């Protein structure tokens, strides 16, 4: 108990406020021993009491308390950690709830991460393409995806430097088990580059689309699933036809699905090694090659040491 009291006293003196240790202890003692309040609750109560006494706003007290460590985006691997980030706002997305003032994607040299800025936080608006120092933001995890939340105790400071957004490439080995709809020959909105659905853009309505080739696929190594995206360049070299040839094919067959069929026949059910930048649940493929292994060597490995599994 005196331990708690010492900490409270130290914390207040940091803020330039003198409180008597004996007074803290008396209050704690009364709450904990006489009124059977759990120590953590008692600590809170005592702190609030002195804050009121000295007219210190709560946010100031708690914000100062957390001088969160500066981290890189790729280092964020834990839920509920207070951290500081230097990053560029890559994209702002539409907010779908009034409690969220801004939501989008932040990037630094090591990767990208989603951020959410609560309306209640009362923080200044950030702009796409600008870099900022974010202080005291909290990490959060949902289904293996990390994001950071900006709340009342967070701070945003604009910085001059233009942060180069990079990424740590990841590799994945496995079989392609699905090529999804929206792959193959598609049309994009000339305004916003979004893929058109039935000739219409979600934002700009009916537009004259621009043709593109891409693949959205799923890979699987028997343990976990990985979504991958192939852009036009990679798709062309993988399938062995150009965008122009794909257009011709589709025109000839009067059906865009022939291109999709071709893609499926080259990818589905086959083993690949891919690498690229991780974005959200996807890997944006930079390299893809068929996973060729020396069968004899592998068999030897498995038969000689059938129980020692390779990683």
Beta strands in the chain (DSSP E): 70-71, 82-93, 100-108, 111-118, 131-142, 145-150, 155-158, 169-179, 184-188, 200-201, 205-206, 210-220, 225-230, 271-279, 282-290
Is residue 288 within 8 Å of residue 194, measured between CB atoms?
no
203 binding another protein? (CB under 8 A): no
Angle between helices 39-53 and 2-14 (to 10 degrees): 30
Cα–Cα nearest to 225, from 177, 293, 156: 177
x/- string (CB under 8 A) for another protein, residues 92-121?
A: ----------------------x-------
Closest distance to another protein from the beta carbon of 259 (Å): 14
Which listed residue (143, 160, 208, 252) binds another protein by CB under 8 A? 143
216 binding another protein? (CB under 8 A): no
222 binding another protein? (CB under 8 A): yes
x/- string (CB under 8 A) for another protein, residues 56-95?
A: ----------------------------------------
- Which residue(s) pair with 271 in the sheet? 175
60-68, 76-84, 161-169, 289-297 -> range binding another protein (CB under 8 A): 289-297
The whole-angstrom separation of Cα 37 and Cα 118 is 33
User: Which positions lie near another protein, rule CB under 8 A?
Assistant: 114, 143, 145, 175, 177-178, 218, 220, 222-225, 264-265, 268-271, 280-281, 290-293, 295-296, 298-299, 302-303, 306-307, 309-310
């Amino acid at each position: 108990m005196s331990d708690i009291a010492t900490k409270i006293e130290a914390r207040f003196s940091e803020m330039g406020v003198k409180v008597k240790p004996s007074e803290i202890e008396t209050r704690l003692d009364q709450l904990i021993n006489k009124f059977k309040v759990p120590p953590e609750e008692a600590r809170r109560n005592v702190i609030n009491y002195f804050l009121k006494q000295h007219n210190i706003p709560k946010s100031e007290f708690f914000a100062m308390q957390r001088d969160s460590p500066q981290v890189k985006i790729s280092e964020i691997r834990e839920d509920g950690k207070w951290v500081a980030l230097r990053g560029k706002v890559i994209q702002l997305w539409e907010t779908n709830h009034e409690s969220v003032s801004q939501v989008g994607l932040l990037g630094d040299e090591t990767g990208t991460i989603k951020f959410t800025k609560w309306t209640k936080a009362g923080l200044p608006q950030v702009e796409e393409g600008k870099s900022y120092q974010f202080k005291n933001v909290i990490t959060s995890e949902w289904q293996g995806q990390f994001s950071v939340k900006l709340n009342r105790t967070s701070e945003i400071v604009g910085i001059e430097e233009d942060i180069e957004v990079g990424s740590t490439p990841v590799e994945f080995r496995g079989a392609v088990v699905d090529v999804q709809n929206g792959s193959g020959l598609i049309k994009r909105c000339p305004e916003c580059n979004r893929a058109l659905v039935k000739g219409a853009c979600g934002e700009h309505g009916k537009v004259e689309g621009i043709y593109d080739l891409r693949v959205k696929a799923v890979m699987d190594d028997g343990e976990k699933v990985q979504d991958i995206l192939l852009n036009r360049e990679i798709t062309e070299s993988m399938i062995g036809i150009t965008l122009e040839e794909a257009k011709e094919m589709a025109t000839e067959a009067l059906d865009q699905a022939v291109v999709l069929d071709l893609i499926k026949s080259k990818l589905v059910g086959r083993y690949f090694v891919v690498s690229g930048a991780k974005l959200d649940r996807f890997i944006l493929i930079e390299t893809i090659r068929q996973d060729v292994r020396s069968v004899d060597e592998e068999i030897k490995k498995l038969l000689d040491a059938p129980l020692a599994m390779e990683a």
